[in-house]
Amino acid sequence: MDNNKSNLLNRIRNSDVYFSFKKSPTAIISSIILAIIFFCSFFVELVVPYNPFDPSSLSLMEAFTPPSWTEDGLPKFILGTDGQGRDMLSTILYGSRISLIVGFSAIIFSLILGVGLGLTAGYFGGKYEMFVMRLTDVQLTVPSILMALLVDGIARGIISREMHDEMAIYVLIFAIGISEWPQFARVSRAATLVEKNKDYVSASTIIGVSNLVVMFKHILPNIMRPILVIGTIGLALAILAEATLSFLGVGVPPTTPSLGTLIRLGNDFLFSGEWWITFFPAIFLVLLAFSINLLGDWMRDTLNPKLN
């Protein structure tokens, strides 16, 4: 067991990916930031002392407290409080958990859908391929945010109001996921077309391995690199899409705010000088999306040697 572990560590340590990671300060910094954000968001109960969504812990009299380093700030609210007396730091971390959950789920949903369709289209070809690829063409003509708005609007019409708040997060995941699958389908189809004419695929086919096994056991691992690259960048896009939808008021409800909802709620106080209510969630969102993008860029450079 120990042997296995050290083997794996050694393999990682000797890999070209690790080598390039060590050489790239942007990759190191952005992954440290991401690690901190992920940790703080998913273990938020351990990190911050307040649960901003427990009404009994709030005091309205503490509303609009500015950040602690300013004149009227209180040391217990490092980033100040919002209009209901909620601690901004806790609210942001709770909010970013929702943003991350939605972003990850949406991207996994569109990865499964896009890669599944792209891979099979590339492998089988023919009319099925044409149908799938024209479908991606049609969907690419519709801006993804519009697509997500459309899905959300239809879902609102179908789902009863009582259910809507509970379903909102799933609707959002579906809406963002469905609007981003075409690029995964395109990339995986293109990569599959290259792979399927290679000898190992022909060999597998000749010895009678079933199509499913060929596709998902043999081809899929070989096309993973480009998919991972666009998947990472897609994650940043999905988080931003969630923020946009929530900012427009069609995302998660204000009772369980995500980063976009927080920015929207804080927007009302921009003119009155309570800048911290919208500024900190916005900066946090920028930091999150920027780090993921930088990491994605580094992955593209490393995993796609053709670009070098």
Partner 1 sequence: MNFRSLSKILLAVLLIFATNTSFAKTIKWSMQGDSLTLDPHAQNEGPTTQVSRQVYEALVTRGLDMSIGPQLATKWKAVDPNTWYFFLREDVKFSNGQQMTSEDVVFSILRAKQPTSDFKEYISTISSVKAIDDYTVQIKTSKPNPILLNQLSNIFVMSKQWSNENFATAPQNWDAGQETFSAVNAMGTGPFKITLREPNTKTVFKKNKKWWGDVEHNITEIQLLPIKNAATRVAALLSGEIDIVTDAPVQDLNRISSSAGHKVESTPQMRTIFLGMDQAADQLRSGNTGDNPFKKKQVRQALYQAIDIEAIKKKVMRGLSEPAGIITFPGVTGYTKALDKRLPYDIDAAKQLLADAGYPDGFEVELRCPNDRYVNDEAICTAVVGMLGKIGVKVNLFAQTKSKHFKELKDDQGDFYMLGWGVPTLDSHYVFHYLYESGASWNKVNFSNADVDAAIRVMEGEVDLEKRNAAIAKAWEIVKDDISYLPLHHQVISWASKSNVDVPIRPNNEPLFRFSRVN
Query: Binding residues for partner 1, per CB under 8 A?
Result: 54-56, 58-61, 63-64, 83-85, 161, 254-255, 267-274
* Residue among 87 and 274 whose Cβ is closer to partner 1: 274
Mark residue 61 as left, alpha or beta (left: phi above 0; alpha: psi -120 to 50; beta: remaining).
alpha
* Residue among 273 and 305 whose Cβ is closer to partner 1: 273
Residue 87 pairs in a beta bridge with 81
- Residue 87 phi/psi, 5-degree rounding, is -65, 125
* Residue among 60 and 112 whose Cβ is closer to partner 1: 60
* Residue among 75 and 273 whose Cβ is closer to partner 1: 273
* Residue among 164 and 225 whose Cβ is closer to partner 1: 164
What is the distance between the alpha carbons of residues 91 and 128, in angstroms, rounded to a whole number?
A: 48
* Residue among 97 and 264 whose Cβ is closer to partner 1: 264
What is the distance between the alpha carbons of residues 29 and 10, in angstroms, rounded to a whole number?
A: 23
Minimum distance from residue 82 beta carbon to partner 1 (Å):
10
* Residue among 187 and 277 whose Cβ is closer to partner 1: 277
Minimum distance from residue 184 beta carbon to partner 1 (Å):
36
Q: Do residues 41 and 87 touch, judged by C-beta distance below 8 A?
A: no
* Residue among 122 and 266 whose Cβ is closer to partner 1: 266
Question: What are the structure tokens assigned to 26, written together?
Answer: 């942007």
Nearest to 225 by CA among 304, 307, 116: 304
Minimum distance from residue 306 beta carbon to partner 1 (Å):
48
* Residue among 63 and 135 whose Cβ is closer to partner 1: 63
